[in-house]
Structure 1
Amino acid sequence: MTITHLQNAAAATLSEPKPVSAPLGEPVPAISYLDVERADQVETGIWEATPGRWARYVAEQEFCHFIAGHGTFTPEGGAPIAFKAGDAFMMSENTRGIWDIQETVRKTYVIIKR
């Protein structure tokens, strides 16, 4: 049995922020994270993004729970999904869309790798 415990996710130290790879205008958002690789095809961790917009491709299925901030995610061909601290959603594999962060967002996530 493997148990991953993300302690105090709201205040955990993350990686050095780096600009996103496909920004859509200014400001250019930066992301930072703490990834925990496991032996069971699951990745979990904490992710943070500063305000701005960018295109994103989500290759694997992902569940995320927002613990700070707010914004929207607009899946390709779909309506914007507004989220705020306390919300959660599940993205299917091969999801394409646009992140639009209005206030720095922090989330915990679980990615199911195949």
Structure 2
Amino acid sequence: MIFPGVGVDAATLAIPLQPLPADQVVTGTPSTGFVELTDTIGVWEHTAGTSTDVEADEVFVVLSGSATLSFTDSTLAPVDLRAGSVVQLAEGMHTVWTVHETLRKVYVAG
């Protein structure tokens, strides 16, 4: 948890990782995890591999790593993610995360 006026180093924060459920894995053996900093802000990590997800409303900023984010239920073009990328997702979007190098992002949900 963070509090007003107190900083957290999101780049080095320890994040407990767990393997993804088999029904979300497309290739590889990716693991994910997150740490909630507030009710709406957190840090999320995904190791190399490809997985599917159904998104919540959020905006995120990539801190490190690289990935390609594809949208399976729309005509949106895939987004190449790297440090500094900023993306907004809408609730219900169906996505495919192809992570080339462990991806870490800070997200603001809601």
TM-score normalised per structure 1: 0.83
**Out of 75, 79, 82, which is 1:81 matched to?**
79
CA spacing shift, 1:4–1:53, aligned 2, 3 Å: farther
Kindly, what percent of the aligned residue pairs are identical? 23
Task: Give the equivalent residue in structure 2 for 1:72.
Answer: 68
1:101 aligns with 2:102: no
Query: Which runs of structure 2 are paired with 1:1-114 in the superposition (5 Å)?
Result: 3=4, 7-15=8-16, 17-21=17-21, 22-25=24-27, 27-38=28-39, 43-58=40-55, 60-76=56-72, 77=74, 78-112=76-110
* CA distance in 2 between partners of 1:23 and 1:46 (Å): 21
* CA distance in 2 between partners of 1:100 and 1:36 (Å): 25
> Helix, strand or coil for the counterpart of 1:24?
strand
RMSD: 1.7
* CA distance in 2 between partners of 1:4 and 1:44 (Å): 15
* CA distance in 2 between partners of 1:91 and 1:52 (Å): 20
Say whether the 8 Å CA contact 1:48–1:107 is kept in structure 2: yes
Q: 4+ runs of 1 displaced by more than 2 Å?
A: 2-6
Say whether the 8 Å CA contact 1:32–1:47 is kept in structure 2: yes
Comparing 69-78 with 101-110, greater Cα deviation is found at 69-78
TM-score normalised per structure 2: 0.85
Gaps of 5+ in 2: none
CA spacing shift, 1:23–1:35, aligned 2, 3 Å: same
* CA distance in 2 between partners of 1:3 and 1:105 (Å): 27
Q: CA deviation at 1:4?
A: 8.2
Gaps of 5+ in 1: none
Size of the aligned set, in residue pairs, is: 104
CA spacing shift, 1:5–1:33, aligned 2, 3 Å: farther
